[in-house]
Amino acid sequence: MPIQYHIQSQEFHLYNDQVSYLIRVLENGQLGHLYYGARIPDEADHGYLVENTYRPMTTYVSPDDYSFSLSNVQQEYPPYGTSDYRHPAYEVKQANGSTVTNFTFEGYQIINGKPQLTGLPATYASSSHPATTLEIALVDQLTQVKMILSYSIFSDSPIIARNVRFENHGKETVTLTTAQSLSVDLPDADYEWVQFSGAWGRERHPHVTPLRPGLQAVDSLRGASSHMQNPFLILKRPQTTEMSGEAYAVSLVYSGNFLAQAEVNEYDVTRLQIGINPFHFAWQLTPGTNFQTPEALIAYTEKGLNDLSQSFHRLYNDCLVRGAWQHQVRPVLINNWEATYFDFTEEKLIAIAKQAKKLGIELFVLDDGWFGERMTETDGLGDWWPNPKRLPNGIAGLANQIHQLGLKFGLWFEPEMANRNSKLVRQHPDWLIQTPNRPQSQGRRQYVLDLAQPEVIDYLFDLIAKVLHDGQIDYVKWDMNRNMSEVYSLAYPANQQGEIFHRYILGVYQLYERLRQAFPKILFESCASGGGRFDAGMLYYAPQAWTSDDSDAIERLAIQGGTSYGYPLSSMGAHVSVTPNEQVGRLTPLNTRGNVAYFGDLGYELDITQMTPAELAQIKAQIEEYKRYRSVFQYGNFYRLTGLGQAKLINWLVVSQDQRIAILGNFKVLNDVNAPYRRLRIPGLKADFRYHVTEVKPAGKVNRGSFTGQELARLGLVISDASAGQTNETTDFYSRCFILEAE
Ligand code: DGJ
């Protein structure tokens, strides 16, 4: 049993081969945090870790005791204002205006498995990845509100999944104004904070700063996890590298407003929290009802950041992504967006599809513009039926032709939005998020539908399901191109307006779930103007996501590299597009564009009817090569061999699960003249296997010798410029791809 309760000491020990997590009931009945880290033996009592001594400027819990203060002890799910002055994990506002509570230990249960969360995305256990769950109940006697803290430990992962359920067993309504999913007090502050931030077109760049006293946070108030910040955060030891050292990470399985923060107090205790953003959040917990927080995940490693990332990749691939596409290799696609934008006809689409088929592409995706009266971004959004002016044979007719070519057919939707100029808004103006008597801001000339209203969800489901059914659609790209503003729902009373952001996202999840269940074979790809909602919550519904609207290969090194810290390669849509690149105007070789897009779900997003025979031949060869190794690219163990912030020369490696195949991408961001000799040590191989090394060049494959795994790990692979051929062959944005195959 990987969860032990020691009754005398009232200590809980969650453990597997990799980690231990220790919780203890404190002397005032609240929960203390003792330890989360590398596995330790199961011992009965770690009371010595609860350090309670007199401290100046401290308030104490008991009238005649100068030691027990919540400021002194490390806690699991702390309140504010009853001797602890740090930011709390929760706040419950009562009818008399008070927020003081006293939640004390009531009992616990250990559950074999992992209960699912109703209406929310979460990791799940299975026979191949079993988990055990500890639920600890605490009750506030005065209000009879209970909180159930839930902890699940998987047998084969260092990651612990947490969530909290509030249950109102009392007689009065209380308001939850803060309900974090996870809070943990780490016993020191010797960490660097790594956040993944950016903007449209440059999402999830890693930023590293030393942890300092006080609060540091990232958050979103946009109604989506956002381009700007990501609900994933690492705390690493300063000396930790990609290949060694300690680090923690937290991830929120949620796609709406979030807050992730660390608070370092005067005694160098680090309180790490993640959950729904308390700003603009107020949930009416009426008698007899519950509130369920989203799930949060916390990970630990003592083996460096690649190991930390690989733990998330494994957990998401095995225990978060669901359905027919889980563990399946993803199709190579062509998307017409950057080839045509809104300027397409059925004829043009068919021409692209025919060319795509010749190149070995497997899925044709029709992007924005096929529906309602959509000719530009100003009209038609919300009217999910084909536009006869563009598609005389409808979606079914087009889909049929694409299917006849031997391609799968995918379609773009933006279910959560509407243009004012749409039948939907003309008929249901009250279905938009809007504040009464106030102007409504627009983004991309569109408005957000109120998915907190069940009838809006029903309406969208019926319309979309009809198109999916009529066209026998194989893939859906679910886009979301603006953030929420003037957030208010006409369907809810004044005292529930603080619930709308969360209810909206629950509505998004519900629509996704209904469509997934009705069309279990469809591959969903989430998107939000590129990577504006790239989070673990979305992966539960859509196994892959459009990583960014910026498909420039060099910018993608930063975006895909940054994203890889928290998310698997199988989740990242990665496309080859034109050069000069439409977002940054950069000229990069087709070889490099392909090599970067290899490390994800490969697609093409350019007009392949306008390319030269030589370029087409190169694309064909690229696709052939990718297909040969795509299970490794999508599901192999991924290593960033260049550390955080080293941008000039980047090396990425994927190694197959059986360690027989490894692929190295070597990317020269800026060229260096008369460059140094370079040898790269290759991790993750079997020491006694002999690997044959081939370099894949546009002109063909070149034999680079054969070496044992131990040689490659210790002596390294020679990747000096001189080894590329002529010493002057390399340029800025030059790249090389090496395949290492066990003989
Ligand atoms: C934003 C997406 O990120 C693009 O790929 C494309 O689908 C456009 N929206 C279409 O409006």
What is the arithmetic mean of pLDDT over 296-321? Answer: 98
Confidence of residue 648 (pLDDT cuts 50, 70, 90): confident
Q: Please state, in angstroms and rounded to a whole number, the distance separating the CA atoms of residues 507 and 502.
A: 9
In this prediction, residue 5 carries a pLDDT of 98
Q: Please state, in angstroms and rounded to a whole number, the distance separating the CA atoms of residues 598 and 574.
A: 7
Is the Cβ atom of 335 under 6 angstroms away from ligand 1? no
Kindly state the DSSP code that residue 724 receives in the 8-state scheme: G
Contact 249, 36 (CB under 8 A): no
549 is catalytic: yes
Q: Is the pLDDT of residue 723 over 80?
A: no
379 is catalytic: no
CA of 198 to the centre of ligand 1 (A): 18
Q: Please state, in angstroms and rounded to a whole number, the distance separating the CA atoms of residues 556 and 201.
A: 9
Kindly state the DSSP code that residue 406 receives in the 8-state scheme: T
Tell me the two tokens of residue 231.
């609900």
Closest by CA to 525, choosing from 512, 550, 544, is 544
What separation, in Å, do the N-terminal and C-terminal C-alpha atoms of the chain show? Answer: 42
Name the packing angle between helices 346-359 and 394-404 (round to 10°).
Answer: 20
SS3 482: coil
Q: Is the pLDDT of residue 728 over 70?
A: no
Is the Cβ atom of 529 under 6 angstroms away from ligand 1? yes
Is the Cβ atom of 277 under 6 angstroms away from ligand 1? no
The position carrying tokens 């330790």 is 40
Residue 592 host element (H or E): helix 590-598
Ligand 1 pocket mutation pick from 412, 419, 445, 572 by most atoms within 8 angstroms of CB = 412
pLDDT, one tens digit per residue, over 180-204 is 999 999 999 999 999 999 999 999 9
Mean pLDDT (the chain, rounded): 97
Contact 90, 177 (CB under 8 A): no
- Whether a cis peptide bond, with omega within 30° of 0, leads into 580 is yes
Residue length of the chain: 743
In this prediction, residue 476 carries a pLDDT of 98
Q: Please state, in angstroms and rounded to a whole number, the distance separating the CA atoms of residues 596 and 552.
A: 9
Q: Please state, in angstroms and rounded to a whole number, the distance separating the CA atoms of residues 544 and 525.
A: 5
Q: Is the pLDDT of residue 725 over 90?
A: no
In this prediction, residue 726 carries a pLDDT of 60
Is the Cβ atom of 368 under 6 angstroms away from ligand 1? yes
Strand partners, 650: 667
Contact 535, 295 (CB under 8 A): no
pLDDT, one tens digit per residue, over 76-135 is 999 999 999 999 999 999 999 999 999 999 999 999 999 999 999 999 999 999 999 999
Q: Residues 300, 304, 305, 308: is their CA dihedral positive or negative?
A: negative
DSSP string, 683-723: -SS-TT-EEEEEEEETTEEEEEEEEEHHHHHHT-EE--GGG
CA distances from 73 to 23, 158, 160, 268 (A): 12, 25, 22, 12
